[in-house]
Amino acid sequence: MSLPVDTIRILADRHPKPANIRFTYGTAGFRTLGSTLDSVMFRVGILAGLRSKKLDGKTIGVMVTASHNPEPDNGVKLVDPRGEMLEAAWEAHATNLANAPTTDAFIEALENLVKIAKIDLSKPSRIVYGRDTRPSGPSLVAALEDGFQAIGASVRNAGVTTTPILHYLVRSINTKGTKDEYGIDSEEGYMQKLSTAFKKLVAGKPASPPLIVDCANGVGAQAVDEIIKYLGDSLQLIPHNTATTTPGALNNACGADFVKTTQKLPPSLAQFLKPGQRACSFDGDADRLMYFYLDERGQFRMLDGDKIAALVAAFIVDLVKAAGLEEEIKVGIVQTAYANGGSTKYLSDRLPVKCVPTGVKHLHHAAEHYDVGVYFEANGHGTVLFSPDTQETLAAHQPSTPAQSTALNHLVNLTQLINQTVGDALSDMLLVEVVLAHKSYSGAEWDSLYVDLPNRLVKVVVSDIHIFKTEDAERRLVSPPGLQAKIDELVRRYEAGRAFVRPSGTEAVVRVYAEAMVRAQADELAFRVAGLVYDETGGDPARRPAEFL
């Protein structure tokens, strides 16, 4: 069987590639200005069909979103059959197809892909797709659908939904009717699964005070509205920033990325948040979660992905012990270089901790090597993975006391509460609430597990980010030559100083991260390193940012 070239040609001509734009399938899929993505969407539609054929007709997911980016941006990501990110080798195929300059070149690239990836075109192709609330979504989805039609895929439209729900659907569809059935393959199935597990986990605990949820004016608002109906009085949620149809509102001065990068309270919450009350923020596609509260002096305190990892890991370790499974089940943590040094110290005193390069796929794969792998990026994206062996151990274990039995049940319920396909703000929020309810922790008590080192993230615009090459999980530069030694020399002068430089995988910038014992020193170190990077790579002195030292 060969490609339906005539159909592809007719449809491809309706979605010409804009000249002078190079697209890259990076850490976050394709992501750029929504108005430039029509051809990319069409081509990704065909690619998804081919990916499904390659995997014997298993269902592939396609999510149209640009997450926490500004509203005019959009993007698209593929989801592999177990609900995980697209296999790395196919990222290059995606980039290739997206950049073919003409319809002819595109068809040639497709034929080439079929050949090198040995795709059997007679296999069926199945796809489930969804989008976030961005205004450019409907027309981009229409282009995607043209791609599905061109390759003759069987499709299911999941409509406007969160990224983690789409991942849940992919895994549920592909495991339907097997012993590993992940869940009922619908949004109701997802809500039911999470809320049932949550209610069992908090049964008998005193009700927590209401939780403010900043929905970033994105699709998370819809999911929060929905879960409220299922939670009953087990948890009271107060949604804010739910204006999903107000132009320009998405991620604007709200949401998890705003909170993390500005280390500030979203201004829209200022009149609602009382000192001591906890609140959380989702990002634009609801796969990141940040918690925060105001201390008794009204100071903003942030509880980021590192704090979530510490809270959750300690809880799971306690349960494993209490269930009498300490020998069988080992818990481990995965972080990136952006994890706060305070958290790394706290965690590595207690558990195995692995550091991997930025990007969820790296964290996810490393977490799979533990019996229970807890991974969170500092920005709030993360989850917990229970290995297949661990899930069997939990199912087979015979508790010898009522206390062991209770702990075992909690662990089993956690495997249901946690979305193990990908970071999920809604599921992670319920997880945090379970731990807080069990420990009777306020935000302040949770916060006091360890103290964050002051830190600063700075972007440096350089003429060519490709000259920056790293090693040791991005913590050291190997290129440009000599630069790392100069960074080391600076870092040595600061108490508890740490700094690293890496090229961004999602923006045309180099990122500098620095931390130190006190705020002013962390800022100074960051701006010194930024200045060094700028000068050493030929930055124009006339345009040197004033804050660089």
Residue 513 in tokens: 């991260």
Binding mask 8-47 for Mg ion (x = CB under 5 A): ----------------------------------------
Q: Which stretch binds ligand GN1 (CB under 6 A): 112-120, 423-431, 441-449, 505-513?
A: 505-513
Q: What's the CA gap between 377 and 334, in Å, rounded?
A: 9
φ/ψ of 45, rounded to 5, equals -60, -45
* Residue 66 C-beta-side C-alpha neighbours within 13 Å: 23
In angstroms, give the least distance from the CB of 487 to ligand GN1: 17
- Determine contact, residues 367/334, Cβ cutoff 8 Å: yes
Closer to Mg ion by CB, 63 or 514: give it.
Answer: 63
Say whether residue 80 binds Mg ion (CB under 5 A). no
**With DSSP H G I counted as helix, E B as strand and the rest as coil, what are the percentages for the chain, rounded to 5?**
45, 20, 40
Catalytic residue among 67, 125, 136, 208: 67
Task: Classify residue 328 by burial, with Cβ atoms within 10 Å: 0-12, 13-18, 19+.
Answer: middle
Closer to ligand GN1 by CB, 147 or 373: give it.
Answer: 373
125 binds, among ligand GN1, Mg ion, none (CB under 5 to 8 A by kind): none
In angstroms, give the least distance from the CB of 505 to ligand GN1: 3
Closer to Mg ion by CB, 290 or 309: give it.
Answer: 290
Q: Which stretch binds ligand GN1 (CB under 6 A): 78-86, 213-221, 314-322, 498-506?
A: 498-506
Q: Which stretch binds Mg ion (CB under 5 A): 64-72, 96-104, 139-147, 445-453?
A: 64-72
Q: Helix (H, G, I), strand (E, B), or coil: what is residue 450? A: coil
Closer to ligand GN1 by CB, 227 or 256: give it.
Answer: 256
Query: Catalytic annotation on 67?
Result: yes
Written as one string, the DSSP assignment of 167-211 is HHHHHHHHHTTSTT--S-SSHHHHHHHHHHHHHHHHTTSPPPPPE
Say whether residue 283 binds Mg ion (CB under 5 A). yes
In angstroms, give the least distance from the CB of 60 to ligand GN1: 20
Which whole-number Å values give the CA distances from 186 to 155, 159, 397, 461, in the listed order?
Answer: 15, 11, 31, 44
Binding mask 368-397 for ligand GN1 (x = CB under 6 A): ---------x-x------------------
Q: In b/e form, how buried is each residue of 57-75, taking b as 16+ CB within 10 angstroms?
A: bbbbbbbbbbbbbebebbb
Q: What's the CA gap between 403 and 409, in Å, rounded?
A: 10
Closer to ligand GN1 by CB, 322 or 356: give it.
Answer: 356
393 binds, among ligand GN1, Mg ion, none (CB under 5 to 8 A by kind): none
Which residues, listed in sequence order, are joined to residue 353 by a DSSP beta bridge? 333
Most distant CA pair in the chain, distance: 73
Q: Report which residue type is found at 5.
A: V
Say whether residue 328 binds ligand GN1 (CB under 6 A). no
408 binds, among ligand GN1, Mg ion, none (CB under 5 to 8 A by kind): none
Say whether residue 287 binds Mg ion (CB under 5 A). yes
Closer to ligand GN1 by CB, 335 or 416: give it.
Answer: 335
Count residues binding ligand GN1 (CB under 6 A): 13
Q: What's the CA gap between 238 and 228, in Å, rounded?
A: 9
Contact residues for Mg ion, defined by CB under 5 A: 67, 283, 285, 287
Report, as residue numbers or ranges, the catalytic residues: 67
